[in-house]
Structures are given as C-alpha cells and as structure tokens.
Amino acid sequence: MMSLGLRQAARQLRLAPAALALGGGALLSLALAPWHMLPGLPLALAAAGWLVLQAASARAASLAGWLFGLGYFAFGLSWIIEPFQIDPDRHAWMAPFALVFLAAGLALFWGAAFGIAARFSRGALRIPMLAAVWSLAEFARAYLLTGFPWAAFGQFWLDTPAANLLPWIGPQGLALLTLAAFLPLGLLRKNPAAALLPPALVAAAILAAPAPSATELTSKTVRIVQPNAPQNLKWHPDHRWEFVRRALAFSAENPRPDLIVWPETAVPQLLNYAEDTLQVIAEGAGRVPVLLGIQREEGGAYYNSAVLLDSDGLPDATYDKAHLVPFGEYVPFGDFMARFGIHGFASQAGAGYAAGPGAQLLDLPIGSALPLICYEAVFPQDVNAAETRPGMLVQITNDAWFGTRSGPYQHLVQARMRALEQGLPMIRAANTGVSAMIAPDGTLLDRLPLGEAGYFDASLPAPLPPTLYSRTGDWPVFLLCLIFAGAAIFLPRALAPRS
C-alpha cells in the first residue's frame, strides 16, 4: 500500500515539477556561505510556493517538498563527505551514503510541511499555511533528536540589513520572515498584488529595524592561536607534537596579552597525564593564562573539554562539552555499536565521549565567558541556556573535519549569528581556521584565514545591553507560527456561509 501511494503521488507530481523541486532546492542552497547567491533565493521560494499551489493531493505536495529539501540539503551540506576522507581506506566508501541519508532524512521535515499545508488548506491559503508549518518544521529540525539547525534560513542574511533583526526575533524569526516574504511569489501569475505585497512589507520591517550600537573596545587583549593541524596528521604519533610546538611558539611572542586561547583538542593527550606538558605551555606562554582544548577522563568516561591554565600551568577551571555530535563524538547505542567496530569519528576514546552537564560560565582573567566547543555554537538555544549573562562567548573548534570548501565558512556564519543574537563579543579559536575576534554586532574585527598557521592579538570588545532575543528565546516565534497555522485552517471555515 505504501509503495502504491508513493507511485500515485509521483504520477500526480509529474516529471517537470519534480525537476523544478529538486532544482529549486539546489538553487536555494546557493544562498548559504560561501556562495551567498541571494538573487536565486526569491526564485527558489517562488517555485516552492507554486509547487504547493499546484499539488493535486497532500501526497503529491509531500513528495514535492521532500524533493525540494533533498536538492537543498544534498548541495548545501555536501561538506559532510569531508570527515570520511580523513582515513579514506576505512571510511571513504561511506561518504555517499552519509550525504544521501542525511539529505533524505532532513528533507522529510520539509516534505511533511508541504503535505500538511496541502491537506489542511486550499487555494491561495496554502501559501501562508506553508510559511507557518515550514517554519514549525524548521523548529523541529533544530530541536528534535538533539537537533541539527545547520543550513537554516536565517543563515542566508548575515552581512545584510536583515541581520539587524536577529537580536530581536532570532534565527527562527528571520526564517519565518523569509518564507512569508518570498513564498507568495508563487501567486505572481494569478494575483500580482497578493504576490508582491508581502515582500514589500517584510522589506519595510527590515529597513525599520535598528542597527546594533557601535562596538567599543576594552583594554583587555586576547591572543588567538591557530596551529593549522591537518586532521590526518593531528593525532599521528610522528606529527602531533609539532603542532603543539607551533602553538607554543606563537604563544611565546611579545608583547604579552591578557589571555591566550588555543583551539579544540589542541593538546594531544589526556588531561590526566598532561601535567608536564601543561607546565611547559605555561612557561612558554610567559605565565599568561591559557584556555585550551584537551580530552580528559573521569570515572571511566571521557570528555571533550576546555581547560583554563593558570600562570603555573595548573587547571583552574574546566568545561566539558555538553552537546555532542552524533556519530562524530558519540554513537547512539554506543556499547552495542562498538561490538561492530563503529565508533565516533572525532573521539579518540573508545565508543565516544560523555556529555557534560550543560551551559556553564568560566571566570577568565578578562571576564566571565560562556565556552562553546565546536558544534555547540550551531545552537542558539544552547547559548540562551546560561543561567546568567556572560561578558563574552568563547568558541574553540577543530574545523579541519569540515574540509576547505563550504563547511568552515557555514560554521563561521553561525558563530557570528550567536554573537549578534546575544549582543556579546565572541573569541573564536579554530585549529585550521577561520579564527576570529567577533564583535557584538557580528562583524569580524580580526581573523586568520582558513588553512594558515599563525596568531593575532585583538582587543576584546565590550558587550552590548541584553537583546530581546536573549530574554525570550524562540518561544514568541514558535507561538506565532502555531497561531498562523491555526488561522489558515479555521478562519476560512468560520467565515464560510452555513447552509
């Protein structure tokens, strides 16, 4: 019955609309970093609006939405094959399957949104209904099953006036506005006024949004170190210590900063046995405190950690990564899967890492900081989870896993969005780049490009006042999407004449 239904939906969709759905999704993905091809965005979403309007059934609409998502995620997340090239003899054969299954799985959220819009609304009302339920599908993608909000619609708009809305409505609000503005273009042939009015209203809202206040610099100086260790050599016994020596040489340069930051897992041994190494780092850094990434073991569990070394090289504070990467840092049902030799790619510790307790602040010599390790900067809800507001965000990451094409640049965009949403500066130390000092308005004050070893000293920006989004999180936009979806379903029935 299931295969019969899918064949029937495919016949109803027909070949040309199916190609339009796949191509429209691929075109939409080009709005992401590093391409930022925004002119294709209205065309792609106009095609999505037209597809849901033309769908003969909810099943046909679901298939169209799924194909649109497949095209989008397959192109936008193509960097996902990079981790499988680190050890190609063992893992390269998995890369195509990982990309296909990831894209196909994420596209299910979009297929469900298209199907619901077609099932519960008719005619032109399918457009606002789709905007609402598609936004709810993006909420589900961001939160369910640990969440994966990578390639979300809000990421299109950094470095445009639309980004000024992020401190007010957050990334999910910006995604809703994106859909509300451009999906109605699917009505252009039938009703030009209804198609063009929403983009005009959204553009007016964007232009009315106040820009963040000017960045002010403090007297504190931070040195950000980028050793540029290729992932296939990072843990190699013949090479791993040369990257530590490289980072140490950068740390020893004068003049002395107030804090030195090394990237994720910068020290290739467990904290439990690294006492001599940490002493050498402290001496080489001229007794300047160093925040660095290192693994540690406690009670038989292994953690991916950020550790602050005091002037004597002793661990003064520790943060354990809480939001782990599925199949990267842990494997679901890890003990069972380990019997078959399946372990997390990024973990050097058996079946994977254990998760830390969650968001916590570190008292650094330059102020209170919320540490984020790699993937954690992808999740705005993780940043909002801190009990008290920090004075800055600090992200240490190893983007060598993401290759050199799109992955590191998309990761950087999301880090900049977190700073802008919170009105906080971010210190970003990346193993292979892009390392940066990010201002509270999301701009890059200083940076090291991808694939370059080096360091820079940057003045720490002062934080801006707390933003509206930092106080409310995603709840207002989520409730607004529910209200819009309910209105699209029930208002026509309430207003219809009764026999």
Which residue numbers are catalytic?
Answer: 264, 321, 374
The tokens for 411 are 């990761």
Strand partners, 293: 306
Instruction: Pick the closest to residue 203 from 165, 155, 250 (CA basis).
Output: 165
Half-sphere exposure of 83 (CA within 13 A, CB side): 19
Torsion sign over Cα 371, 374, 376, 377: positive
Q: Which residues contact 186 (CB under 8 A, 6 or more apart)?
A: 45, 46, 47, 48, 49, 50, 51, 52, 53, 127, 195
For residue 219, give the 3-state DSSP assignment. strand
Instruction: Pick the closest to residue 361 from 306, 430, 429, 309 (CA basis).
Output: 306
Cα–Cα distances (Å) from 20 to 49, 128, 456, in that order, read 12, 21, 47
Q: SS3 letters for 321-362?
A: CCCCCECCCECCCHHHHHCCCCCCCCCCCCCECCCCCCCCCE
CB-based contact 317:356 (threshold 8 Å): no
Q: Which residues contact 166 (CB under 8 A, 6 or more apart)?
A: 154, 174, 417, 420, 421, 442, 469
What is the secondary structure of 154-206 as a DSSP string?
A: GGG-TTSGGGGGHHHHHHHHHHHHHHHHHGGGGGTTT-HHHHHHHHHHHHHHH
Query: Which letter does DSSP use for residue 433 in this model?
Result: S
Strand partners, 217: 461
373's enclosing H/E stretch is strand 367-373
